[in-house]
Structure 1
Amino acid sequence: MCTAATYRSQDFYFGRTFDYEFNYGEEVVVTPRNYSFQLRHQNALTEHYAMIGIAHMVGDYPLYYDAVNEKGLGMAGLNFAGNAVYRKPREGRDNIAQFEFIPWILGQCATVQEARTLLAHINLVDTRFSEQFPTSQLHWILADRDEAITIEAVGEGLNIYDNPVGVLTNNPPFDKQLFRLNDYSYLSPDQPVNRFSEQLQLQPYSRGMGAMGLPGDLSSASRFVRVAFTKMNSVSGTSESESVSQFFHILGSVAQTRGCCRLENGKYEITIYTSCCNADRGIYYYTTYENHQITAVDMYRENLDGEIPVHYPLVQGEHILLQNAADTTEEKL
């Protein structure tokens, strides 16, 4: 289970939580413009926009979970179990495997509008990367600083929804999640007004009561409502540090804590990583479950005209600054 969101202050930010019971050795991966993306049913992408995001590296091939390209377009795939339906290759269509979808879009498109043109000809196919990697059932959020859409390959075909909240979780399908926000139209960041009865002098007895009824459970439907409310009412300064900090607070509202979501195999779902990419500057920030210190990778510090992806393992282990260290040297516990 995962949650993705967008945010705008002075710059545009795109990120997500990745919630699962174990990791696959994810890394921050910068793919330069001249890396050759070999596609199973189409000609290879040999020249394309550079991109940065989280991927699992298989040899030199990045299997992207989420990424942002150098034009500021971001895309993330989230679990959509039981609803995703991919098809067999069809003549006359752009047959793209699920694992190729993110680089295929981000490699060629600078905006959501450009992506809409490509999506009119796509056929998402069920081709597996390998026998060791089953096809993931996903749907996707695609966003730039001006708009966001949700893309779902389901039984009746490919559905593309305008996403006015810039948020995506998992099930049910996006149109049902968006409609459910109507049930929470009474929520407010302001204190409530007594509408119960004019005959009773009812008064708020705590701050934050305007949001009473905001769902707090860990289901994807409830996380959608909670992060949408948090994001849509979020206020931050425009500096980079203020904006990045605020974005992590937004996604922190839906973080998964070990022990609260027990699975049938006795494992627990946790937030493996949380990301925030400044899409305008190409800086990818992240934290992990065991490391709350924000780590950053700047795409523009790499050779974007190269041919080989550059990848950095996620920094693990809690980094705690001892404020009253004996000397001025930073001491970590």
Structure 2
Amino acid sequence: MCTASNYITDDHYFGRNFDYEISYNERVTITPRNYKFEFRKIDAIESHYAIIGIAAGIDSYPLYYDACNEKGLAIAGLNFAGNAVYKEFDEDMVNVTPFELIPYLLGQAGNVAEARKLLSEINLVNINFADELPLSPLHWMLSDGKEAIVVEPLEEGLKIYDNPVGVLTNNPPFDKQLFYLNNYRNLSNRNPENTFGGDIDLDEYSRGMGGIGLPGDLSSASRFAKVAFTRANSYSDSDEASSVGQFFHILGSVEQQNGCTFIDDPDLYEYTIYTSCYNTNKAILYYRTYHNSQITAVDLNREDLDSSELINYLLINEEQFNFIN
């Protein structure tokens, strides 16, 4: 279960909470322009846009959870259990496996509009990465500085939605998530007028009463509403430190604490393993982990982007304390 969002000040920011019960040794992975992308059913791509993102640390292939390319397009894949449907091979389509979708799109599309064109020809084919690593049921949010979309593999085919709120969680499908926001149309960042009725004199006894009714549980639908409200009403200065800090606060509003979401195992709980934030204009990835509250940054443009070898940085998971005496 995860939450993705974008945020725009002078630059475009995008990222997500990765919520799961098990870590797969996540790492920052930079794919330079000349790394050869091999695909299961289509020709390899030998030259492409450079990519930075967070990937599973289990293979030499970049199994990205979320990523951004040097042109400013960003993508995150989120769990979509019970709804994701992957298809059999279709000779009339471009057959891409779900784990290849992020490299395929970010390698060639510089913005959402270009990604739409590629998606119109894609068939997400049902091929596991490996026998011991079956496909995850996913849907994806794509975002640039101008627009955002959601891509969902459904029984009737690949569905693309415009995303006017810049947020995605897990279930139900995105059109239903968006519709549920109608239930919260009365919410405000200002305290409401007394419209209870009659002559009852009701007190404004606290700040924040305009948000009464905003959900605070950890379910997908509730996290969607909470982040949509938080993002829509967020305010920060437009400098990098203020923008990045505010972005982490937006996703922090639905962070999952270890122990609060029980999994069907006596020792496992879902928690926010990491939170990512991309400045897509500058191709800088910022992240925090559950065990390290300090923001760590990796700059794509400080690497040799014309090389052909992956560049990896393990996530820093130990808490960093700043003693001032």
Superposed CA offset, 1:205-256 (max 9, x none): 0010000000011001100000000001101001100000000000000000
What amino acid is aligned across from residue 17 of structure 2 in structure 1?
T
> Where does residue 297 of structure 2 map in the other structure?
296
> Where does residue 315 of structure 2 map in the other structure?
314
Q: Is 1:209 the counterpart of 2:214 in the alignment?
A: no
What amino acid is aligned across from residue 264 of structure 1 in structure 2?
D
Please tell me whether the aligned partners of residues 65 and 76 of structure 2 are also in contact (alpha carbons under 8 angstroms).
Answer: yes
> Where does residue 87 of structure 1 map in the other structure?
87
SS of aligned partner of 2:176: helix
Identity among equivalent positions (%) equals 57
> Where does residue 262 of structure 2 map in the other structure?
262
Measure the CA separation in 2 of the matches of 1:100 and 1:58.
Answer: 15
Measure the CA separation in 2 of the matches of 1:288 and 1:18.
Answer: 9
Unaligned runs of 5+ in 1: 326-333
Q: Is 1:180 the counterpart of 2:180 in the alignment?
A: yes
What amino acid is aligned across from residue 283 of structure 1 in structure 2?
I
Q: Equivalences for 1:97-136 in 2 at 5 Å?
A: 97-136=97-136
What amino acid is aligned across from residue 115 of structure 1 in structure 2?
A
> Where does residue 283 of structure 2 map in the other structure?
282
SS of aligned partner of 2:316: coil
The size of the alignment, in residue pairs, is 324
Which structure 1 residue ranges, 4+ long, deviate > 2 Å from structure 2? 57-60
Measure the CA separation in 2 of the matches of 1:59 and 1:302.
Answer: 21
Please tell me whether the aligned partners of residues 60 and 308 of structure 1 are also in contact (alpha carbons under 8 angstroms).
Answer: no
Q: Equivalences for 1:69-88 in 2 at 5 Å?
A: 69-88=69-88
SS of aligned partner of 1:312: strand
Measure the CA separation in 1 of the matches of 2:2 and 2:205.
Answer: 34
What value does the CA root-mean-square deviation take over the aligned residues?
0.8
SS of aligned partner of 1:179: helix
Superposed CA offset, 1:283-302 (max 9, x none): 10000000000000000010
> Where does residue 49 of structure 1 map in the other structure?
49
Measure the CA separation in 1 of the matches of 2:32 and 2:252.
Answer: 31
Q: Equivalences for 1:144-163 in 2 at 5 Å?
A: 144-163=144-163
Please tell me whether the aligned partners of residues 24 and 58 of structure 2 are also in contact (alpha carbons under 8 angstroms).
Answer: no
How far did residue 63 of structure 1 move? Answer: 0.3
Give the TM-score, by structure 2 length.
Answer: 0.98
Unaligned runs of 5+ in 2: none
What amino acid is aligned across from residue 63 of structure 1 in structure 2?
L
> Where does residue 38 of structure 1 map in the other structure?
38
SS of aligned partner of 1:315: coil
SS of aligned partner of 1:105: helix
> Where does residue 232 of structure 2 map in the other structure?
232
How far did residue 58 of structure 1 move? Answer: 4.2
What amino acid is aligned across from residue 282 of structure 1 in structure 2?
A
Measure the CA separation in 2 of the matches of 1:69 and 1:36.
Answer: 16
SS of aligned partner of 2:139: strand
Q: Which moved more, 1:200-209 or 1:279-288?
A: 200-209
Measure the CA separation in 1 of the matches of 2:23 and 2:177.
Answer: 27
SS of aligned partner of 1:76: strand
Measure the CA separation in 2 of the matches of 1:219 and 1:268.
Answer: 14
SS of aligned partner of 2:105: helix
What amino acid is aligned across from residue 102 of structure 2 in structure 1?
I
Superposed CA offset, 1:98-155 (max 9, x none): 0000010010001111111111111001111111210110000011010000000011
Measure the CA separation in 1 of the matches of 2:137 and 2:294.
Answer: 31
